[in-house]
Structure 1
Amino acid sequence: MDVITIESKSYKEIVAKIDVIANYVFSQEDTKNEDEIWVDSYEVCTFLKISDRTLQRLRAAGLVSYSDIKGHYFYKIKEIKRLLEERLIKRDKEYINDLITNHHQYVKERRNTKPNK
């Protein structure tokens, strides 16, 4: 293993540049097309007020597109909107706005609770 040492001033400059890049990336997430936002099962169930079993039935029947990452399911907002439009989930459009709004808060909370290394 190689050990690299640098001056404290240089290290702080690198960290500052990384922070600028991270802030830019996070600010871009807020402006991206809401239809392309990925939400997890917990968010869908909580903010649309449906059961996990209902979501599981929709997946099993092939009625909703999703991504499975290590047993966690993620859905694009446009898929959830389609489910509402086709009345596969019987909720008003206000629920999708609630989902999007709360998703942004949920992401910020998770970002703030991540341990710093």
Structure 2
Amino acid sequence: MEIVAIEGKAFEQLKQRFDDFTRQVKTLCGNGRNTEKWMNNAEVCGLLQISQRTLQSYRDDGTLPYSQIGRKCYYKTSDVEALLNQAKNESR
């Protein structure tokens, strides 16, 4: 193992740069980012009490936004809640 000696001032500068870098990484990688829950098809169908086919129609016509990873679709909880609220308001 090799031991390297550096001046205290150089060490403090190095430490400050590392702290700045850490803050930047946290900012870019999610410190303070939205951590909203995502739902899968089965969860959305159960909550909305709709069939898979109706959910497909909602995706096709843009009624319910979604994200797709591979062959699986996911929905933001807030989008599903907004759709529920919209349906409640229309039924009044």
TM-score (norm 2): 0.53
1:48 Cα deviation (Å)?
Answer: 2.8
Aligned CA RMSD, in angstroms, stands at 2.6
Any unmatched runs of 5+ in structure 2? 1-33
Aligned length: 57
| C-alpha distance in structure 1 between counterparts of 2:46 and 2:84, whole Å | 15
CA contact (8 A) 2:38 2:76 kept: yes
Per-residue Cα deviation, 1:48-76 (whole angstroms, up to 9, x for no partner): 32101111101100111101111111001
Deviation, 1:42, is 1.1
Instruction: Judge conservation of contact 2:65–2:75 (CA < 8 Å) in 1.
Output: yes
Q: Distance in 1 between matches of 2:57 and 2:80?
A: 14
Identity rate, percent = 39
* Greater fraction of residues in helix: 1
Residues 48 and 84 in structure 2, CA contact (< 8 A), matched pair in contact too: no
> Which residue does the alignment assign to 2:12?
none
Q: Partner residue of 1:51?
A: 51
Task: Please tell me whether residue 71 in structure 1 is matched to residue 71 in structure 2.
Answer: yes
Once the two structures are TM-superposed, the CA of residue 47 in structure 1 deviates from its matched residue by: 3.3
Q: Aligned-pair distance for 1:37?
A: 0.7
- Distance in 1 (CA, whole Å) between partners of 2:67 and 2:61 is 15
Structure 1 residue ranges without an equivalent (≥5): 1-32, 91-117
The DSSP-based 3-state class of the residue aligned with 1:63 is: coil
Residues 20-39 of structure 1 aligned to structure 2 (within 5 Å): 36-39=36-39
